[in-house]
Structure 1
Amino acid sequence: MTPDSNWPDYPWLYGRTRAGRERGPGGARALLDLLGRPDAAFESVRVIGTNGKGSTCAMLEAGLLAAGVRVGRFTSPHLQRYEERIRVGGAELAPERTATFIEWAKEQAPDAAFFDLTLALACQVFAQEGVEIAVMEAGVGGASDATAALTDVRAVALTNVALDHVATLGPTLADIARDKAGAARPGVPLLTTATGEALAVVREVAGEVGAPLFTPDTHPDLFAVPYPPRLSGPHQQANAALAAATLRTLGHPEGVEAALNATLPARLERFEAEGKTVWVDGAHNPHAALALAASLPGGADVLLFGGLARKDTAATLEPLLGLAPGRVFTSPGDPATPPEELGARYGGAAVRDVEEALALALARTPPGGTLLVAGSLYLAGAVRGLLDRSGAGR
């Protein structure tokens, strides 16, 4: 097969949306069975939560690698390349593997959903590559997520619960917490840094299911970390504690130090461009935006913001407005919250094209000043690509 503009056929894959399909693990389970149950060939750690899943997965991967484990990592969304979603031994999937799988899916599973297909590809690759433990990030929810189809789950790590995906998981925090806690399995450790009302629901569900529950309050030594993680922001302390506790539960305490030194793109990632500091963060919901605001007490000069229409854009933007007097609004994808509406409501320029919006935001940032980019992981990925292409430093 020769690479060309249609190889791999990403447009076909991206077009397999879940619109109109029933949620849940049924579609993924059918695909995995069609592939010969590759998920039975390795152990899994499911990572669930509203925010912090990607960071926790990166820390777990780094810790398991340092412990000498053959590890796979499945995450979403990707920032710049589809193959970022599937990693073995710390390396991204080769596009050739994606191309081969897409051709198979066109023939054998033409009606399957995108996330189910990507999960199935990850499991197939992990089985073929002799992965011992796979770190598997949930898409949306816990009980209702495709990763609930996985066979051999060794641990479930639940980061936190906040209001997001309310149309899918339920209108209240308790509804969302119940779905996420539904990832619990009898006898399988459920570790969480959730607090308050969400933790009460998690505790109830764990008791009903018969899953041993571990929290920083019940097992402080398990969640202890010797120093702050390399990933920036006070919220990363909880993610680090969860990763450390999960590694110890899996029998790999020797991986904690490497976990704390893990990095992950677009999580308060710093660039230097045109003599200015650019912070790029994927904060895309109110809970994440609050954490981002707390991580930048000094604020910024300009905010470049773009959010998807399906998100609560107003609530996400609110914690960020006080950080920067200058604002540029853009469109990170389709459908996006119209930047013209945001500019008119909150004051600022509206530029739909991300490259043009970044250029304007940088121009409005004073020499030696700071630009903050936030609102969507899709925007973060696009901006990272533009900054890399321009030769921006880190």
Structure 2
Amino acid sequence: MSFKVRSGFEFTLLNYNNLSTKVYSPPFATSLDTFWQLKFKPTSKGNPEYCSVYLVAIPSHEEGGTTSAWTNRATYSADIYIKHPETLNEIKKATLDTTKFSAIKPLRGWNRFCKKTLLPSDQIILGIEFDKTEFGTPDEKPRFPGNGKPFPDDLVTAWADQLNKPEYADVEFKVQGQSIYANTTILMRRSEYFQRMFVGRWVESITYNQGEEEQAQQQQRQQVPTPEEDDDTDMDSNASGSSGINNSISSHKRRRVSDSESDDEDDDRSVRSICSSLPIRSKRIVIDVTDFHPDTFLEMLRFLYTNRVSFGTRESPTSPTNLFKIADKYLIENLQQHAKVKLFRGLNMNNAAEFLFSTAWQYDELRDHVMNYVVQNFQIVCKTPGFKSITSNPSNYPQFHNLITEILRKVFADDDSDY
């Protein structure tokens, strides 16, 4: 149960004329799961006599996973204004259309909001007023966007220092011939896929880097137990054979992995303990990885170690597309979500068709959203060089006929509904 009131948020910008770049307000909320920021640019791009103001929608977990307009935000009416700090008179005020916020367009506002000659020289008050704000009850808790509390910097450093260090590693990944070193305890803590890889009889199919005569004994000694912190995971450590484990992984593919469900403080303590007590390894598991670039695999491991990710350009091994694919394989839902949000934000009329026909059709989490975007903007998309290249080379796209048929069917169905 909740009740609604009007609300406003104001921020005083001191010496705003000395700003050389855009600035953002602290986040604020109009409900337990609806967060915003104001963005101010002292000099408008292309119109230096104006300042720019935007409202930024901070996406929730659910909003970040769709290309559609965020309908719950469309119910708000927002007035953005600039006031004189002494008289409190409004210098400029405008009403914002909140119906078009989406992962592709998470901010709305004005490039030319107010002429700078109208503003005082030293400071201004930047504010926003909403027609409603939803108050929750004591038993309701805010649902913060993203991953909740960020990892402390010293914890990130502690994890990062352990990555790709042979002396602390008990697993070596041979990624297209390049060796990348990691620790199974950390990987199992962060990924269900790796939990199942290093537990039970699946480990018997893994190669070790010691002599053949020692392998049987070493496999027995290096059975890695499920961490005690993970007693609540839905796993069967007695699964028999790698085939059964692969089937089990497929059936759990859409479950949230433990890094997003565990308590932050417990994670901090357990990770500090792990990092401080990792023994120096003389023998390790060796696993061949042939389907990903070494940089893609290393960035995935970096996310597992630090909960942070750095995306590269569209053509690089660490592009959002490549990291989405590797997160999908290794059941790392948080990384997959980060990559999906990045992909949707980069979607536009020129690249949407190519992305759908080459990649998105393979993944349920992407296909429907990108398909809807192409259909809704088909009158423009069909004229782009990317779409024309697809129709000129259909053999390059294995699902060309199915996808083009579905697009045209939906486009004409939408046209019929207008009459």
TM-score, normalization by structure 1? 0.26
TM-score, normalization by structure 2? 0.25
**Which of the pair has more CA radius of gyration?**
2
